[in-house]
Every structure is written in structure tokens, then in C-alpha cells.
Amino acid sequence: MAYADTSIPAHPSGAQALSDSAACGLLRREDARLLRGQGGFVANRQVPGMLHAVFVRSPHAHARITAIEASDALALPGVRAVLLPEDFVGLRQPRVNALLPGMCLPQAELLPLDRVLAVGAPVALVLADSRQEAQAAADLIWVDYQDLSPVLDFAPDSAAETLYPGMPSRQALHQHIAVGQLPKHAPSAAVQLGLPRVAASPLEPRAALVQWDEAAQTLSAWLSTQTPSRAREDLAHALGLAQSQVRVVATDVGGAFGAKASVFAEDLMLAWAALRLQRPMRWLASRGEDLLAGTHGRGSQLQGQLWLAPGSPQFIGLAAQMQFTLGHWLPFSAAAPLRNATRILPGPYRVLAQEVQAEGLLSHAAAVGIYRGAGRPEACVLMERLVDEAARRCDIDPLALRLANVWAAEDLPRQLPSGEWLDRCDPSALLLRAAERFNYTERRARQQAVRGDARTLTGLGIALYVEPCGQGGESVRLTALEGGGYLLATGATAQGQGRETAFSLIAAEALGCAPGEVEVLHGDTAQCPAGIGALASRSTAIGGSAILAAAAELKQKLAEGAPRPCTVELFHTAPNEAWASGCLMVELHIDRDTGAPTIKDVVWVDDAGVLVHPTLVHGQLIGGLAQGLGQALMEKIVYDDSGQLLTGSLMDYALPRAEDMPPVHIESLPTRSAANALGAKGVGEAGCIGLPAALLNAAHDALAQIGITEAQLDFPLSAPALWRAMQAAPASPSSSL
């Protein structure tokens, strides 16, 4: 594996970005606590009298419960309680963010009394003195099920009535955006493709420890979450408590990627039980439980059509029809993938008219929520496939077609015809610099020279993307301490991104002090102001801008003679949404005999605006690229026709390993964001957005070398899938001899 960063920009005030040695020093101090085994993960926390929780889960995708027998489980030593559906009457599903116009969904029962709606849905909660005793008891609970027919993903039947009684439509979510009139003649290109469900697979599965203090009438919850303030609101609402009675702590979180952005049924059931039994209790999900009952990502079917003006390379029309599977319940941000995909199209390109339609469909399967990218990869892969297909059909070089249709830097930022505001960027510069680093012209000529004669097919793929990086605002409380130094408490959180380092750098530069003089607190609602959390690549652009505003105000107060301790607390709202951008070019080799794909190398020119800490940015880019690689080449959640999960462990669900990473050459070509004072854009999701699209284009390009131009390729691009596609190659004259 090889990768490199160049062209690192200056820090916002003009000072150079932190040197690598200094940056590494800060990171080492930050990580030392974890290396000493002093982590703050939920699994590290012990509370006197703590019970251990295990959930009994449904083996059916859709069934009626006729009886539950738990007497044998209760008789086991160490078992303290078995809670059944009737013990949770009154608990409702958590709220859903109404991101789409007209979106109004009822809050259904959290745990239906007489039915199960997905494989893995919780049916009972066992509490015991040890995890082993709880598991042994869970294995003895007998449930009588009457099997019912499940509604599968993208089925024509409706699952809405069984999930949300009274909802007449099979659509739970829908969005329609129309600008101008589409051309009447046939489209220049049309594509369809599928993105299967994938699993976020963080290092730390979901976890919760909940404790009720009867004397203080307060609930403390240690959660593996990326949104502690939101979790506090949902717990308080579910339990009928004031928010001031609930404390949520998320110190060290071993990865999230969107899969820990909502509270889950297990979190609410545990809190409900802790309040009523007045015992602390902890639940640590297994990897299998997360694959089975955690939220999945992606899960969409996409179609699109692109029109070029007759005799011209100009885009004049775009149509898209998209379906997103939702599963059997809606997490807080369930509408985000659909909304993002519709509002991003047509990406960085100028198109005269567009019509984009999308719908979300319920099914008897695990819920689908946000996952690193959340609709951005869908928009990118659909648009980039259309551009490549149009280039092939019109006999135009794919790079030249893109250059003819992207927005010019001098025209940005601007409000688009769809109503979206596109941030400052330079798509042409990204394309040209990537082509230069990639030696695009030379590689294309070399590819055409061999054209299908070799035993290895070579495909070149391009993906150009823009990505919105979070809207709204973030909270901060910044205090100049009496004895010197500063205490910064933020509503943003972290799951391993090194956010403490970046935030201390922003504050230190604005205050004129050393980064080591700024202590950063996050993830604890008792110590930090209520905030949004970490998602949508928003934390540096929005959370960092909030810190910048607070530091400026605090510095002015101190300059005017305000005594220490002196505090500034504010909620800063960004006037616009930052949009990052970038271009990836890849060379993909496909073995003619086996279909095995090999990525020769990747060139990536990224625009994340002002880089506060280049080393952390590099880590985020590489991490996102690894997850994009997994989605593109190997990851796929699979259910059978009865709704049973076939990929319930890492023996069946493939994740990328270090040896799967190709050589990667990364260069920063930034344009300062016009959306915030910091000038920063998002970076964490970019690799998941651009790489799958570039690889899919490269695979189609490779197959075209042997005359395969109508292949239906869906993710993942596995060796068997590519081998099957190659079997449609036209027979050569000598093949019949």
C-alpha cells in the first residue's frame, strides 16, 4: 500500500499547518490513555450491583407470537429478571427527523405485544449476575410463533400496514424534484444499478450501561453513540423524564459511521428496565447482533437517463428514479439517504432540466439508516455512470465530456435551479490535476493498443463528486480558567477522528496560545452544552466554526479586562452548507479466466477546503477509501426469500483487510469554503462516495474492451459477478474451431 499527500494549504489565519512532528506528538498524548488500557468504552465500565443483559431475538422475519414461556429461564442461578413484551407497554419508537416535505409518520409500538417484524427483533430481555448466566437463561426461553409471509426489500407488496397500522401507502418516504422540461427525444444514455445493504461494522459493536439513581431521581446512560444530546432527548421522552434528569456519556466510541446516530430498541428497553428494577445494567452487543439487528446502510435501486443536445456534448436533461429500502423501523435519520441523493443530483454538472423521483419502502428486515456517505454515494455513482455511458454511446472521451459540462469555478458559489446552494469549488481543476497525476492520456492510449488481446482486461474509471457536509449549527462553551489555560466543551463528539486535536488547534490559534493549553471535553451531556454530535462530515466545518466564533468573543472580553474565569457559550449556525468535492481515477485489471479484480492504483485529488490538521485529514480520507473499497468489491448483506439473514457473521460478510488496499496517491487541491469563517469542508465520507463510482466505471470500461457494453453490473464487483458478465462476450471467429 502506498499513498501520499501534497499541496497542503495554510491554516486559516495564514499560519502554516502544524508540522508532522508536532501533530504526531499531540496525537500520541491523546492516545496514551487508550494504550495504557484506560479507555472509556462501555465495556470498560463497571458499576457495583450491575446486571448483565441479553436479548432474546426473533428467528422469524414476520410472525405472530402466540405464547412465551420463561419459567425455566427464571429458575437458573443468577437470573434476576426476564422481561417480556407486556413489560414494555407504553414504549414507542424514537422520533424520526422530518427531513422531507409532508413527512409525518406515527410513532409505533417499540415492542409489539403479539408479533415480530424482522429477524433479530427483540422479544424478551434477560437480566442476570453475569453475561454467561443471562445467555444460558435466554437459550431456555420458549416462544411459540405463527409464521406469516414477510415483505422483502423492494417487493411490490406493502409492509406499511403491518409496521405502521393505518398507513395506507407502501411509501413511507418520497421526494420529487423537477426543474424545467425534459427533452422529448430518446435519452443519450440510460443506466440502472443496485447498491445492496451493507453493514457499518465498527470496531466496537453497540453497547449501553444504564443506572437509575432513586435518591437523585436521575438516569445515567453510558452509550456507544455519536449523538449523546439526541440520545438524552429520546431517553427522557421515552421514560417521561425531564432532560435535566438524564445524563448520557459517550467517551470513547470505537467507530460509528452513522450506525450509532440513533437510539435503538435495546437502549430504550434497558433504560426502561433500569428505572423500574432500580438496578444498573449493561448490554454489550455481539458482532452477530450488530449484523442482524443494527442498522444497515445503502440498500437502493437506481435508474437514470441523461440527454445531450443533438450534435453537442452539452447536458440538457437528467431523469432519475430511485428506490431505497427502509426495513421495519425508521431510525432518526432514515430520510437522509433519500433526501441527499435527490438534492445532490446532477452533482457538479450544469444540466438545463431535471426530474428526480425517490421513494422509501418498508420491509420485514433490519432498519436501514445513515452510513458513511448517506445518499451521496448513490447520487455520485448514478450520475457518473450516466456520464460514462453517454461518452461511450456518443464516442466522446469520458474526461472530455466531463470537462465540457462541469460548473466553472468563477460561477460558484451559487444557488442551483433545484434550490440547493453549491459551495465554491473548481471541478475542472480537479479533473485536470487528477488526469495529470494519473497520466490519463498515456494510459488510455496504452489500453486501446492492447484492446482485449491480453489475458487481463484493463479498465480506466473516473468519478467526480460534490458532497454536502452538514447543515445547521453546533454548540460550544469556552472558558478562560483562573489559573491559566482554557477549557473547551463542545456539542460535537468523536469516534476516533482525533477531534480533540483539531478543536484544540482551532481554539489555540484564535486565542493566541499553545494547543496544549486547551483542554477539550466532548460526549458528556453533564459537562458539555447540548449539541448535534458527529455525522454528515459536519464537525470541523460547523463545530470548528462555532469554536472560532466563541474564541473571538472570549478574546475580546479578556482584552477588555474581563476577569478569569471567563466563559463564552453559544450555538453557532452556519449561514450555508459547505460542499466538498474531488476527483478519483483508477486503473482496474480483471483476470479473463477468473474474473478476479485487481486495482493497480488510485489517484485522488481532493478539495476539503482549509485543512486544520493534514495528518488527521489524511487518515479520514484513507479510512473512507477503505470502506468505499469494501462496498465496491466485497460487502453485501444477503437475506433469503423467507427473510432469513445469510450473512450473520464475518465468516459470511466480507470486510476489506490491509492487504486489499491498493496504492493510493492523494493530493489536496483546496478551495476555501464560502459557507463558514473557518473555510473548511467535510472530509470523512469522501472515500465512500468517489471510489465505488470510479471502480464501477472502470469495470464497465474493461468489459467494453471485449465487446460487452450492456452488462448489468451491481455492487459488489466480485470475481464471480465479473466472470459471469464476461460470459456474454461475443465469440471470436476462432472460438468455434
Instruction: Identify which of 469, 472, 528, 526 has the alpha carbon closest to the alpha carbon of residue 500.
Output: 528
Taking the mean position of all CA atoms in its chain, how far away is CA 356? Answer: 22
Q: Are strands 421-422 and 414-415 parallel, antiparallel or unpaired?
A: antiparallel
Structure confidence at residue 196 (pLDDT) = 97
Tell the burial category of 642 from Cβ atoms under 10 Å away from its Cβ (0-12, 13-18, 19+): middle
Find where cell 487518515 sits.
Answer: 619
Structure confidence at residue 159 (pLDDT) = 65
Question: For the chain, what's the residue count?
Answer: 737
- In the Cβ-directed half-sphere of 136, how many Cα atoms lie within 13 Å? 14
- Indicate whether 440 and 309 sit together in one domain: yes
- Indicate whether 262 and 362 sit together in one domain: no
Residue 63 lies in a domain: no
Question: Looking at the 3D structure of the chain, how many domains does it have?
Answer: 3
Taking the mean position of all CA atoms in its chain, how far away is CA 509? Answer: 31
Residue 682 lies in a domain: yes
The domain spanning residue 495 has which CATH number? Answer: 3.30.365.10
Residue 499, domain extent? 470-573
Residue 664 lies in a domain: yes
Tell the burial category of 519 from Cβ atoms under 10 Å away from its Cβ (0-12, 13-18, 19+): middle
What DSSP string runs through 623-641? HHHHHHHHHHHT----B-T
Instruction: Identify which of 460, 416, 415 has the alpha carbon closest to the alpha carbon of residue 442.
Output: 460
Contact in structure between 584 and 432 (CB atoms under 8 Å):
no
**Chosen domain end from 237, 267, 293:** 293
Cα 117 to Cα 145, 606, 628: the distances in Å are 12, 43, 30
Where do runs of H (alpha helix) occur along 278-415? 287-293, 336-344, 376-393, 398-403
Cα 315 to Cα 228, 270, 308: the distances in Å are 44, 54, 5
Cα 542 to Cα 226, 316, 334, 553: the distances in Å are 16, 35, 22, 17
Residue 26 lies in a domain: no
Residue 28 to residue 22: CA distance in whole angstroms = 10
**Chosen domain end from 242, 265, 293:** 293
- Indicate whether 255 and 340 sit together in one domain: no
Residue 680 to residue 546: CA distance in whole angstroms = 12
With 80 as the cut, is the pLDDT of residue 273 above it?
yes
- The one-letter amino acid code at 343 reads R
For residues 450 and 733, which has the higher predicted lDDT (pLDDT)?
450
- Indicate whether 700 and 620 sit together in one domain: yes
Peptide bond into 413 cis (omega under 30): yes
Contact in structure between 534 and 66 (CB atoms under 8 Å):
no
Structure confidence at residue 169 (pLDDT) = 52
Cell of 33: 490513555
Residue 289 to residue 538: CA distance in whole angstroms = 29
Residue 315 lies in a domain: yes
Handedness of CA 654, 656, 659, 665 (dihedral sign): positive
- Indicate whether 310 and 272 sit together in one domain: no
- The one-letter amino acid code at 381 reads V
Helix (H, G, I), strand (E, B) or coil at 577: coil
Residue 154 to residue 120: CA distance in whole angstroms = 20
- Indicate whether 317 and 260 sit together in one domain: no
- Number of neighbouring beta carbons within 10 Å of residue 314: 15
With 80 as the cut, is the pLDDT of residue 107 above it?
no
Helix (H, G, I), strand (E, B) or coil at 318: strand
Structure confidence at residue 118 (pLDDT) = 95
| pLDDT tens profile 658-706 | 999 999 999 999 999 999 989 999 988 999 999 999 999 999 999 999 9
Contact in structure between 249 and 223 (CB atoms under 8 Å):
yes
Cα 531 to Cα 476, 493, 518, 546, 572: the distances in Å are 8, 9, 20, 11, 10
Cell of 84: 417480556
| pLDDT tens profile 635-669 | 999 999 999 999 999 999 999 999 999 999 999 99
- Indicate whether 529 and 667 sit together in one domain: no
Contact in structure between 630 and 356 (CB atoms under 8 Å):
no
- Indicate whether 711 and 659 sit together in one domain: yes
Could you tell me which residues come within 8 angstroms of residue 58 by beta carbon, excluding any fewer than 6 positions away? 116, 118, 119, 120, 121, 122, 123, 143, 145
Residue 361 to residue 335: CA distance in whole angstroms = 11
Contact in structure between 552 and 514 (CB atoms under 8 Å):
no
Q: What is the mean pLDDT of residues 427-455?
A: 91
Residue 668 lies in a domain: yes
Identify the DSSP state of 440.
H
- The one-letter amino acid code at 107 reads Q
How much is the pTM?
A: 0.93
Residue 362 to residue 152: CA distance in whole angstroms = 9
Q: What is the mean pLDDT of residues 23-36?
A: 49
- Indicate whether 590 and 555 sit together in one domain: no
- Indicate whether 249 and 388 sit together in one domain: no
Sheet of strand 456-468, all strands in order from the earlier edge strand to the far edge: 456-468, 579-591, 597-607, 664-668
Contact in structure between 405 and 386 (CB atoms under 8 Å):
no
Residue 670 to residue 608: CA distance in whole angstroms = 6
Helix (H, G, I), strand (E, B) or coil at 304: strand
What DSSP string runs through 38-99? ----GGG---TT-EEEEEEE-S-SSEEEEEEE-HHHHTSTTEEEEE-GGGGTT-BPPP----
For 603, phi and psi rounded to 5 degrees? -110, 130
Cell of 465: 463528486
% of the chain surpassing 70 pLDDT: 91
Residue 246: which H helix or E strand, with range? strand 246-249
Residue 710 lies in a domain: yes
For residues 143 and 500, which has the higher predicted lDDT (pLDDT)?
143
Ramachandran bin of 453, using left for φ above 0, alpha for ψ from -120 to 50, beta for the remaining angles? alpha
Residue 306 to residue 189: CA distance in whole angstroms = 5
With 80 as the cut, is the pLDDT of residue 735 above it?
no
- Indicate whether 282 and 326 sit together in one domain: no
| pLDDT tens profile 597-648 | 999 999 999 999 999 889 888 999 999 999 999 999 999 999 999 999 999 9
Ramachandran bin of 609, using left for φ above 0, alpha for ψ from -120 to 50, beta for the remaining angles? left
Residue 140 to residue 675: CA distance in whole angstroms = 57
Q: What is the mean pLDDT of the chain?
A: 90
Could you tell me which residues come within 8 angstroms of residue 297 by beta carbon, excluding any fewer than 6 positions away? 197, 198, 199, 200, 257, 258, 259, 337, 368, 369, 370, 371, 372, 373, 374
| pLDDT tens profile 383-399 | 999 999 999 999 999 99
Q: What is the mean pLDDT of residues 708-737?
A: 80
| pLDDT tens profile 279-337 | 999 999 999 999 999 999 999 999 999 999 999 999 999 999 999 999 999 999 999 99
For 374, phi and psi rounded to 5 degrees? 45, 70
| pLDDT tens profile 460-475 | 999 999 999 978 888 9
Residue 186 lies in a domain: no
Where do runs of H (alpha helix) occur along 325-461? 336-344, 376-393, 398-403, 427-438, 440-450
Residue 84 to residue 87: CA distance in whole angstroms = 5
Peptide bond into 9 cis (omega under 30): no
Residue 652 to residue 233: CA distance in whole angstroms = 37
DSSP lists the bridge partners of residue 127 as 53, 81
- Indicate whether 550 and 633 sit together in one domain: no
**Chosen domain end from 517, 545, 573:** 573
| pLDDT tens profile 173-194 | 899 999 999 999 999 999 999 9
Cell of 582: 474531488
Band of pLDDT at residue 108, cut at 50, 70 and 90: confident
